[in-house]
């Protein structure tokens, strides 16, 4: 039987070339984890995702040959599901029911908290990261305790609040419908559609991990 630590190594070896990284591990008490394929409950979940534009080179090459809908979700599933089978794990995705609490898992795994945009902010990557899926295991995988400071607590000016031209970003959260309404106004929303969310770009944390221009436009089109 393969030991727990070597599972993390195999995951990194299989998905690392595509820019999908092991983002953290969540351990559960018996009976509290998500359902596995055999009907039992997972004792560990390994979160998988990107940091900055790590996935973009591999995904954009694949996308040129894909004609269907939801390309990023499809690409992620094509990579993660076969690996789950090889490792005897169950695969979970943010886009698939039953909806799994990915943000709660990320909070436990990496100690992250939401920014005013609703996106979990990472002390290193800022707002430029994401979760593409997760793998559930029937055994516990040893993981370091999650300890991360919350960058928003140290940010006095909070430039993200003033940068949004639609006033969709506030201390209480992100108004998605207000944002979408603004983007659909034609010329008014052009800047955000071309250059990416202005509020997100205004955040100084993790600026070196900012998505590439093509990736910014891709995500804005998905939001639109």
Give per-residue pLDDT as tens, 93-119. Answer: 999 999 999 999 999 999 999 999 999
Q: Residue 120 in contact with residue 126, Cβ under 8 Å? A: no
Q: Residue 71 in contact with residue 63, Cβ under 8 Å? A: yes
Predicted pLDDT at 82: 98
Q: Residue 11 in contact with residue 18, Cβ under 8 Å? A: no
**CA–CA distance, 174 with 161 (Å, rounded to integer):** 10
**CA–CA distance, 185 with 34 (Å, rounded to integer):** 42
How many angstroms separate the Cα of 167 from the Cα of each of 101, 115, 180? 28, 15, 12
- Structure tokens of 87? 């490792």
Task: Lowest mean pLDDT of 66-70, 146-150, 187-191, name the range.
Answer: 187-191
Predicted pLDDT at 1: 39
Q: Is the pLDDT of residue 210 over 80?
A: yes
Model confidence over 71-83: pLDDT tens digits? 999 999 999 999 9
pLDDT band at 125 (very low <50, low <70, confident <90, very high): very high
Q: What is the pTM of this model?
A: 0.91
């Amino acid at each position: 039987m393969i030991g727990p630590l070597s599972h993390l190594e195999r995951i990194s070896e299989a998905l690392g070339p595509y820019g999908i990284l092991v983002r953290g591990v969540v351990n559960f008490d018996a009976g509290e984890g998500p359902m596995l394929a055999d009907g039992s409950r997972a004792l560990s979940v390994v979160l998988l995702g990107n940091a900055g534009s790590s996935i973009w080179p591999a995904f954009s090459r694949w996308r040129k040959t894909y004609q269907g809908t939801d390309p990023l979700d499809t690409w992620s599933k094509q990579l993660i599901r076969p690996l789950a089978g090889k490792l005897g794990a169950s695969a979970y995705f943010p886009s698939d029911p039953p909806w799994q609490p990915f943000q709660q898992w990320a909070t436990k795994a990496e100690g992250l908290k939401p920014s005013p945009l609703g996106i979990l902010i990472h002390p290193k990557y800022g707002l430029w990261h994401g979760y593409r899926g997760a793998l559930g295991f029937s055994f516990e995988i040893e993981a370091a305790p999650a300890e991360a400071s919350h960058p928003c607590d140290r940010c006095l000016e909070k430039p993200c609040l003033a940068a949004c031209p639609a006033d969709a970003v506030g201390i209480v959260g992100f108004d998605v419908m207000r944002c979408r309404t603004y983007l659909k106004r034609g010329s008014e929303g052009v800047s955000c559609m071309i250059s990416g969310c202005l509020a997100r770009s205004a955040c100084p944390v993790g600026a070196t991990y900012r998505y590439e221009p093509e990736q910014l436009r891709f995500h804005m089109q998905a939001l639109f």
